[in-house]
Protein backbone atom coordinates (compact mmCIF):
# COMPACT_ATOMS: atom_id res chain seq x y z
CA UNK A 1 0.00 0.00 0.00
CA UNK A 2 2.88 2.38 0.77
CA UNK A 3 4.13 1.99 -2.81
CA UNK A 4 0.67 2.94 -4.15
CA UNK A 5 0.68 6.16 -2.15
CA UNK A 6 4.22 6.91 -3.33
CA UNK A 7 3.18 6.41 -6.95
CA UNK A 8 0.15 8.62 -6.41
CA UNK A 9 2.30 11.39 -4.93
CA UNK A 10 4.80 11.21 -7.78
CA UNK A 11 2.10 11.31 -10.47
CA UNK A 12 0.27 14.13 -8.69
CA UNK A 13 3.44 16.23 -8.49
CA UNK A 14 4.22 15.65 -12.17
CA UNK A 15 0.68 16.39 -13.34
CA UNK A 16 0.24 19.54 -11.26
CA UNK A 17 3.45 20.89 -12.77
CA UNK A 18 2.14 20.07 -16.26
CA UNK A 19 -1.24 21.67 -15.60
CA UNK A 20 0.32 24.90 -14.33
CA UNK A 21 2.16 25.22 -17.65
CA UNK A 22 -0.89 24.96 -19.91
CA UNK A 23 -1.29 28.27 -21.80
CA UNK A 24 -4.45 30.26 -21.20
CA UNK A 25 -5.52 29.92 -24.84
CA UNK A 26 -5.22 26.11 -24.74
CA UNK A 27 -7.12 26.01 -21.44
CA UNK A 28 -9.97 28.06 -22.89
CA UNK A 29 -10.06 26.05 -26.14
CA UNK A 30 -10.12 22.67 -24.40
CA UNK A 31 -12.72 23.81 -21.86
CA UNK A 32 -14.99 24.97 -24.68
CA UNK A 33 -14.50 21.66 -26.48
CA UNK A 34 -15.55 19.70 -23.38
CA UNK A 35 -18.64 21.89 -23.03
CA UNK A 36 -19.57 21.02 -26.64
CA UNK A 37 -19.06 17.30 -25.97
CA UNK A 38 -21.34 17.53 -22.94
CA UNK A 39 -24.03 19.30 -24.95
CA UNK A 40 -24.21 16.28 -27.24
CA UNK A 41 -24.60 13.68 -24.47
CA UNK A 42 -28.10 12.39 -23.67
CA UNK A 43 -27.17 11.54 -20.06
CA UNK A 44 -26.14 15.17 -19.59
CA UNK A 45 -29.01 16.92 -21.37
CA UNK A 46 -31.65 14.72 -19.71
CA UNK A 47 -30.25 15.08 -16.17
CA UNK A 48 -32.46 17.15 -13.90
CA UNK A 49 -30.02 17.49 -10.99
CA UNK A 50 -26.29 17.98 -11.54
CA UNK A 51 -23.35 18.43 -9.20
CA UNK A 52 -20.47 20.41 -10.71
CA UNK A 53 -17.28 21.85 -9.28
CA UNK A 54 -16.38 25.52 -9.64
CA UNK A 55 -12.99 25.68 -11.31
CA UNK A 56 -9.76 27.30 -10.21
CA UNK A 57 -8.41 30.25 -12.16
CA UNK A 58 -5.48 28.23 -13.56
CA UNK A 59 -4.51 24.63 -14.21
CA UNK A 60 -8.02 23.19 -14.30
CA UNK A 61 -10.74 22.72 -16.90
CA UNK A 62 -13.02 25.74 -16.66
CA UNK A 63 -16.60 25.08 -15.66
CA UNK A 64 -18.03 28.61 -15.48
CA UNK A 65 -19.83 28.30 -18.83
CA UNK A 66 -20.99 24.75 -18.04
CA UNK A 67 -22.56 25.86 -14.76
CA UNK A 68 -24.09 28.92 -16.42
CA UNK A 69 -25.60 26.72 -19.15
CA UNK A 70 -27.04 24.29 -16.59
CA UNK A 71 -28.70 27.15 -14.71
CA UNK A 72 -30.01 28.72 -17.93
CA UNK A 73 -31.62 25.40 -18.83
CA UNK A 74 -33.40 25.18 -15.48
CA UNK A 75 -31.32 22.34 -14.03
CA UNK A 76 -30.95 21.96 -10.28
CA UNK A 77 -27.24 22.57 -9.66
CA UNK A 78 -25.13 21.74 -6.61
CA UNK A 79 -21.51 22.78 -6.10
CA UNK A 80 -18.90 21.60 -3.58
CA UNK A 81 -18.46 23.45 -0.32
CA UNK A 82 -15.75 22.97 2.29
CA UNK A 83 -16.31 24.53 5.73
CA UNK A 84 -13.54 26.84 7.00
CA UNK A 85 -12.64 24.18 9.57
CA UNK A 86 -11.48 21.91 6.70
CA UNK A 87 -8.30 23.97 6.45
CA UNK A 88 -7.33 22.90 9.95
CA UNK A 89 -8.43 19.30 9.50
CA UNK A 90 -11.29 19.62 12.00
CA UNK A 91 -14.09 18.94 9.49
CA UNK A 92 -13.03 17.14 6.31
CA UNK A 93 -16.52 16.36 5.00
CA UNK A 94 -17.27 18.11 1.75
CA UNK A 95 -20.85 19.30 1.20
CA UNK A 96 -22.76 19.93 -2.01
CA UNK A 97 -24.83 23.11 -1.74
CA UNK A 98 -27.37 24.31 -4.26
CA UNK A 99 -26.61 27.16 -6.65
CA UNK A 100 -30.00 28.62 -7.47
CA UNK A 101 -29.85 30.97 -10.43
CA UNK A 102 -27.72 32.96 -12.83
CA UNK A 103 -27.97 35.91 -10.43
CA UNK A 104 -26.86 33.71 -7.54
CA UNK A 105 -23.93 32.45 -9.63
CA UNK A 106 -22.90 35.96 -10.68
CA UNK A 107 -22.97 37.20 -7.09
CA UNK A 108 -20.49 34.65 -5.75
CA UNK A 109 -17.13 36.10 -4.65
CA UNK A 110 -13.80 34.40 -5.40
CA UNK A 111 -11.59 32.87 -2.75
CA UNK A 112 -7.79 33.04 -2.46
CA UNK A 113 -7.40 30.31 -5.12
CA UNK A 114 -9.52 32.23 -7.62
CA UNK A 115 -12.45 29.82 -7.20
CA UNK A 116 -16.00 31.14 -6.96
CA UNK A 117 -17.15 30.63 -3.38
CA UNK A 118 -20.95 30.42 -3.02
CA UNK A 119 -20.71 29.86 0.74
CA UNK A 120 -23.79 28.82 2.67
CA UNK A 121 -26.01 31.84 1.87
CA UNK A 122 -27.73 32.70 -1.40
CA UNK A 123 -26.78 35.80 -3.41
CA UNK A 124 -30.00 36.17 -5.41
CA UNK A 125 -32.47 36.27 -2.51
CA UNK A 126 -32.10 36.05 1.24
CA UNK A 127 -31.85 32.49 2.49
CA UNK A 128 -29.68 29.45 3.14
CA UNK A 129 -28.46 27.05 0.50
CA UNK A 130 -29.95 23.57 0.30
CA UNK A 131 -27.58 20.71 1.12
CA UNK A 132 -27.68 17.77 -1.31
CA UNK A 133 -27.57 15.49 1.74
CA UNK A 134 -30.87 16.90 3.01
CA UNK A 135 -33.52 14.14 2.80
CA UNK A 136 -35.86 16.65 1.15
CA UNK A 137 -33.35 17.49 -1.59
CA UNK A 138 -33.72 15.81 -4.99
CA UNK A 139 -31.27 13.03 -5.73
CA UNK A 140 -28.24 13.87 -7.82
CA UNK A 141 -28.45 12.44 -11.34
CA UNK A 142 -24.89 13.32 -12.36
CA UNK A 143 -21.78 14.67 -10.68
CA UNK A 144 -19.13 16.30 -12.89
CA UNK A 145 -15.94 15.51 -11.01
CA UNK A 146 -12.57 17.29 -11.09
CA UNK A 147 -9.23 15.58 -10.67
CA UNK A 148 -5.53 15.66 -11.44
CA UNK A 149 -5.26 12.60 -13.70
CA UNK A 150 -7.48 9.88 -15.18
CA UNK A 151 -6.91 6.65 -17.10
CA UNK A 152 -8.87 4.55 -19.61
CA UNK A 153 -10.32 2.44 -16.79
CA UNK A 154 -11.83 5.63 -15.35
CA UNK A 155 -9.62 5.64 -12.30
CA UNK A 156 -9.11 9.09 -10.81
CA UNK A 157 -6.22 10.77 -9.05
CA UNK A 158 -7.36 13.68 -6.89
CA UNK A 159 -5.39 16.26 -4.96
CA UNK A 160 -4.77 13.96 -2.02
CA UNK A 161 -7.36 15.20 0.48
CA UNK A 162 -10.03 12.55 -0.31
CA UNK A 163 -12.84 15.13 -0.14
CA UNK A 164 -14.79 13.55 -3.00
CA UNK A 165 -14.19 9.98 -1.83
CA UNK A 166 -15.56 10.78 1.61
CA UNK A 167 -18.53 12.71 0.23
CA UNK A 168 -19.44 9.93 -2.20
CA UNK A 169 -19.13 7.26 0.47
CA UNK A 170 -21.47 9.23 2.73
CA UNK A 171 -23.89 10.18 -0.05
CA UNK A 172 -24.21 6.71 -1.60
CA UNK A 173 -24.78 5.14 1.81
CA UNK A 174 -28.06 7.10 1.92
CA UNK A 175 -28.99 7.89 -1.68
CA UNK A 176 -28.78 6.29 -5.12
CA UNK A 177 -25.33 6.57 -6.66
CA UNK A 178 -25.27 9.31 -9.31
CA UNK A 179 -23.47 8.99 -12.62
CA UNK A 180 -19.87 10.03 -11.90
CA UNK A 181 -18.25 11.75 -14.87
CA UNK A 182 -14.85 13.41 -14.80
CA UNK A 183 -14.00 16.50 -16.83
CA UNK A 184 -10.45 16.31 -18.19
CA UNK A 185 -7.98 18.37 -20.16
CA UNK A 186 -5.97 16.39 -22.71
CA UNK A 187 -2.76 16.14 -20.61
CA UNK A 188 -4.76 14.65 -17.73
CA UNK A 189 -5.40 11.40 -19.63
CA UNK A 190 -2.60 9.03 -18.63
CA UNK A 191 -1.84 5.32 -19.08
CA UNK A 192 -2.32 4.26 -15.47
CA UNK A 193 -3.61 5.85 -12.26
CA UNK A 194 -2.68 3.99 -9.05
CA UNK A 195 -5.67 3.36 -6.79
CA UNK A 196 -6.56 2.03 -3.36
CA UNK A 197 -9.73 0.15 -2.33
CA UNK A 198 -11.23 3.38 -0.92
CA UNK A 199 -11.00 5.26 -4.22
CA UNK A 200 -14.30 5.64 -6.08
CA UNK A 201 -14.20 4.52 -9.71
CA UNK A 202 -15.77 6.89 -12.18
CA UNK A 203 -18.35 5.89 -14.77
CA UNK A 204 -16.70 7.91 -17.50
CA UNK A 205 -14.25 10.65 -18.44
CA UNK A 206 -15.16 13.57 -20.71
CA UNK A 207 -12.27 15.23 -22.56
CA UNK A 208 -11.98 17.38 -25.70
CA UNK A 209 -11.74 14.13 -27.69
CA UNK A 210 -15.03 12.72 -26.42
CA UNK A 211 -16.21 10.33 -23.70
CA UNK A 212 -14.39 7.26 -22.39
CA UNK A 213 -16.62 4.83 -20.48
CA UNK A 214 -15.37 2.47 -17.80
CA UNK A 215 -16.65 -0.66 -19.56
CA UNK A 216 -16.78 0.79 -23.04
CA UNK A 217 -20.46 1.69 -22.99
CA UNK A 218 -22.72 4.34 -21.52
CA UNK A 219 -24.25 3.81 -18.06
CA UNK A 220 -27.07 6.23 -18.87
Domains of the chain: 2-213 (3.40.50.10420)
98 assigned ligand-binding residue: no
Longest CA–CA separation in the chain, Å? 50
pLDDT at 74 over 80: yes
10 is in an annotated binding site: yes
Is 7 annotated as belonging to a binding site? no
Q: What is the pTM of this model?
A: 0.94
Average pLDDT over residues 126-142: 97
159 assigned ligand-binding residue: yes
Instruction: Identify the pLDDT of residue 111.
Output: 85
Residues contacting residue 81 through CB under 8 Å, at least 6 positions apart? 94, 95, 96, 97, 118, 119, 120, 129
**Residue 147 assigned ligand-binding role:** no
Please check if 122 is assigned to a binding site: no
Is 54 marked within a binding site?
Answer: yes
160 is in an annotated binding site: yes
Nearest to 15, CA basis, from 193, 219, 211, 209: 193
Helices (H), the chain: 2-20, 24-39, 42-45, 64-72, 102-107, 163-172
Which tens digit of pLDDT belongs to each residue from 114-127? 889 999 999 999 99
Residue 148 has pLDDT above 90, yes or no: yes
Give CA–CA dist 168/147, Å, rounded: 14
Contact by Cβ (8 Å): 143, 180: yes
CA 53, 59, 60: angle at the middle one, nearest 5?
Answer: 25
Q: Is 57 annotated as a binding residue?
A: no
Lowest mean pLDDT among 104-108, 155-159, 215-219: 215-219
Q: Does residue 179 have a known ligand-binding role?
A: no
Is 140 annotated in a binding site? The answer is: no
Instruction: Let me know: does 147 contact 184? Beta carbons within 8 Å.
Output: yes
Spatial separation of the C-alpha atoms in residues 68 and 90, rounded to whole Å: 33
The pLDDT value recorded for residue 115 is: 86
Average pLDDT, the chain: 93
DSSP 104: H
> How many residues appear in the chain?
220
d(CA 146, CA 213): 16
Q: Is 119 annotated as a binding residue?
A: no
Amino acid sequence: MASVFARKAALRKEMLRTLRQIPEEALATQSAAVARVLAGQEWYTSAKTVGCYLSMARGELRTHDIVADLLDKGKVVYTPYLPPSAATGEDNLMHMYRLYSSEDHAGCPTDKWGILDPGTKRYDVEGDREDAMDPAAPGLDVILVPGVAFDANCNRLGRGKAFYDRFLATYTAQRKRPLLMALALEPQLVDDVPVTPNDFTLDGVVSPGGVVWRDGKSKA
